[in-house]
Amino acid sequence: MSTQPDSVPLRTKLLFIAELAEGAERYDDVIVQIKTIIKKFGPRLTNDERNFLSVAYKNLTNTLRNSWRTVDTVGKLEASRPTVVARKVMLIQKQRVKIEKELSDVCKDIVHLLDSKLLPAVEKGEERVFYSKMKGDYYRYLAEFSRPEDFEHYAKESLDAYRSAYRHALVTLEPIHPTRLGLALNFAVFYHDVKKSPDRACHLAKSAFDDAVLSPQASDPGLAQTIREALQILQLLKDDLIAWSKEIPDDGERYN
């Protein structure tokens, strides 16, 4: 058996385990590995580390949000039946509250990590936009599933984070940059889903769409990968514009 010391750096090992965990869809394990990297090496993450963290939290919350919607739909169906079985409704409500608690815990965990470690250490540019957007996203999820007494607080925190990210993106990132476009898409979703303002959502989405399409970088052959990523987001922006514009009185065709 070899007695040579292991020459693989600890940070590389932790990242490999995070990658392995992501492939196995063990997202809690991914988060543990990235948090260990932050604890041992500081809050400045590499792009790969940052992306693993983002994907892990996104998948955890997506699963919980989908579970909540399923249980909520079943609850409404049961409540609408001619003969309502009170015990069933109570059990459904209990399950929904449990999911809400789990979702709230995950969202608050990443928001705390962002506020206490990641955002204080960022430099200007894409990294700051990325983390501020994440903060806006998870406060948006909290607002979507919160109790009425907490809604305004979470909505305000989400809006403040998105505004901070968007102001910074406008002066540091090109209009075609995927992070800037992804921020515009999610910020528009916030206006539509949380603020119930399809008009403002359409205005923001169309502005981002037009700026990207008219950007000189949109036809730069040296940015092929960036353009491919941007095109995917632009298609989502276009789809949302078409859907949301139909909700605006007398303006249903404006964004078609």
Looking at the structure, do residues 143 and 254 belong to the same domain, yes or no? yes
Looking at the structure, do residues 66 and 131 belong to the same domain, yes or no? no
Is residue 88 within 8 A of residue 78, CB to CB? The reply is yes
Cβ neighbours around 239 below 10 Å, total? 11
pLDDT tens figures, 193-208: 999 999 999 999 999 9
**0.75 exceeded by the pTM?**
yes
Contacts of 67 (CB under 8 A, 6+ apart): 99
Q: How many domains does the chain have?
A: 2
Pick from 193, 189, 210: which is nearest to 255 by CA? 210
Looking at the structure, do residues 78 and 152 belong to the same domain, yes or no? no
Looking at the structure, do residues 98 and 171 belong to the same domain, yes or no? no
Looking at the structure, do residues 157 and 90 belong to the same domain, yes or no? no
pLDDT tens figures, 85-139: 788 888 999 999 999 999 999 999 999 999 999 999 998 999 999 999 999 999 9
Longest dimension (CA), the chain: 78
Residue 182 in domain: yes
Looking at the structure, do residues 131 and 256 belong to the same domain, yes or no? yes
The residue from 121, 148, 180 where one domain ends is 121
1 has pLDDT over 50 = no
Looking at the structure, do residues 112 and 146 belong to the same domain, yes or no? no
Looking at the structure, do residues 96 and 143 belong to the same domain, yes or no? no
Between helix 126-145 and helix 47-79 the angle, nearest 10°, is 20
Q: Give the pLDDT score at 80.
A: 82
Give the count of alpha carbons within 13 A of 117, CB side only: 18
Looking at the structure, do residues 112 and 155 belong to the same domain, yes or no? no
Domain that holds residue 180: 124-256
Looking at the structure, do residues 117 and 130 belong to the same domain, yes or no? no
The residue from 66, 101, 121 where one domain ends is 121
Looking at the structure, do residues 43 and 88 belong to the same domain, yes or no? yes
